[in-house]
């Protein structure tokens, strides 16, 4: 019998949703059934219980160093279940900090390890992945956000990443993302 998995996510601009879909596709290739739950588009009263699944991945986009409020709410609602079943859960975040390989550990600490400490959670399988920097005319970022991100990218980020300040910059490492998904399936199948 195949495992039933839930990926509960909240995205601001789409990178977290795209990453969740990539993880879903990878997990389905491992003979599991996967349900995607967009926490921002689903009323909280309709969020399913973790009891209905063999495993759950919780994910959030990061903006200004913060998780989405929906992902935080989902996490807080199910803290006892998380504490009692840490092997059934994985967490990932999408953030600009992780665009630079040398900053992945920093992103992991700030957006994951510190959250685990805050909520007194055991170490849970987790990863920080890069988001997308979209400076194109069709960007979902507002003018101010786009200007601040461009300035930060020009002044603080590695120029060797090959920035396109008029286009879409997708620095996600899909090999790492797929490995995360496969590691998750192995953990819940042990």
What pLDDT is stored for residue 129 in this prediction? Answer: 96
For residue 71, the tally of other CB atoms under 10 A from its CB is: 25
- Average pLDDT of the segment spanning 88-115: 92
132-134 vs 168-170, strand pairing mode: antiparallel
Q: Is the pLDDT at 122 greater than 80, yes or no?
A: yes
What does 86-118 look like in DSSP terms, one character per residue? GGGEEEEEEEGGGGSGGGHHHHHIIIIIHHHHH
Q: By the 8 A CB rule, do 44 and 33 touch?
A: no
Q: What's the N-to-C CA distance of the chain in angstroms?
A: 14
SS3 46: helix
What pLDDT is stored for residue 46 in this prediction? Answer: 96
What pLDDT is stored for residue 1 in this prediction? Answer: 66
Q: By the 8 A CB rule, do 141 and 104 touch?
A: no
What pLDDT is stored for residue 139 in this prediction? Answer: 84
């Amino acid at each position: 019998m195949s495992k039933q998995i839930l990926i509960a996510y909240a995205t601001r601009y789409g990178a977290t949703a795209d990453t969740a879909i990539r993880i879903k596709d990878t997990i389905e290739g491992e003979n599991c059934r996967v349900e995607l739950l967009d926490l921002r588009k689903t009323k909280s009263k309709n969020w399913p219980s973790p009891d209905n699944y063999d495993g759950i991945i919780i994910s959030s986009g990061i903006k200004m160093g913060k998780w989405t409020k929906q992902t935080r709410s989902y996490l807080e609602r199910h803290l006892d279940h998380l504490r009692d079943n840490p092997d059934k859960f994985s967490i990932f975040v999408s953030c600009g900090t992780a665009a630079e390989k040398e900053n992945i550990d920093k992103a992991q600490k700030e957006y994951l390890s510190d959250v685990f400490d805050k909520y007194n959670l055991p170490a849970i399988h987790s990863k920080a992945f890069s988001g997308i920097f979209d400076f194109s005319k069709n960007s979902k970022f507002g003018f101010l956000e786009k200007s601040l991100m461009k300035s930060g990218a020009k002044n603080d980020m590695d120029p060797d990443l090959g920035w396109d300040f008029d286009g879409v910059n997708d620095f996600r490492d899909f090999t790492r993302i797929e490995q995360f998904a496969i590691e998750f399936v192995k953990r819940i199948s042990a």
